[in-house]
Amino acid sequence: MSVSAGTERSRKRSTAQPMPYEMRLFVAGKEANSVIARSSLERICSDHLEGRCHVEVIDVLKDFQPALEENILVTPALIIRHGPVRTVVFGNLTNIDRVLAALEIGSEPS
Partner 1 sequence: MMTARKPTYKELESRLLETEDLIGVLRNHEVDVIVGNEHVAVVRLQEVQEALAKTRVGLEHRAVERTAELARVNRQLRETIDHQKRIQNQLEHSASQLREHAELLDLAHDMIFVHDMDGRIVFWNRGAELTYGWKREEALGQLSHELLKTEFVEPLLRITARIIKEGWWEGELVRTTRDGRKVTVAARWALRRNADGRPAAILEIDNDITARKHAEQEMAEARRFAESIVDTMQESLVVLDPQLRIISANRSFHETFGTDPQQIVGQPLLTLGSGVWASAELYSRLNGVLTLGGNFEGFEIECNGGEPKAFVLSARPIRRPANGAERILLVIQDVTLCKRQERVIEADKEQLGSLTEELMMIEERQRRQIAQALHDSVGQSLAFSKRELNLLRQRGPEEVRGRLQEVCEQLDDAIKHTRDLTFELSPSTLYTLGLQAALEELADQFAESEGFRCQVEGPGDCIPLDERVRSLLYRAVRELLVNVAKHAEARNVRIVLDRDEQGFRIVVQDDGKGFDVSALKGRGKGGGFGMLSVRERLVRVGGVFAVESAQGKGTKVTMVVPIDRGQRSDWGFDGIAT
- Binding range to partner 1, per CB under 8 A, among 9-17, 29-37, 47-55: 29-37
Confirm or reject binding of residue 40 to partner 1 (CB under 8 A): no
Confirm or reject binding of residue 10 to partner 1 (CB under 8 A): no
Instruction: Determine which residue in the list 24, 33, 55, 103 makes contact with partner 1, applying CB under 8 A.
Output: 33
CA distance 18 to 92: 26
Question: What count of other Cβ atoms lies within 10 Å of the Cβ of residue 36?
Answer: 16
Confirm or reject binding of residue 60 to partner 1 (CB under 8 A): yes
- Binding range to partner 1, per CB under 8 A, among 7-15, 17-25, 32-40, 49-57: 32-40
Tell me: cis bond preceding 76? Omega within 30 of 0 counts: yes
Answer whether 56's CB lies under 8 Å from 25's CB.
yes
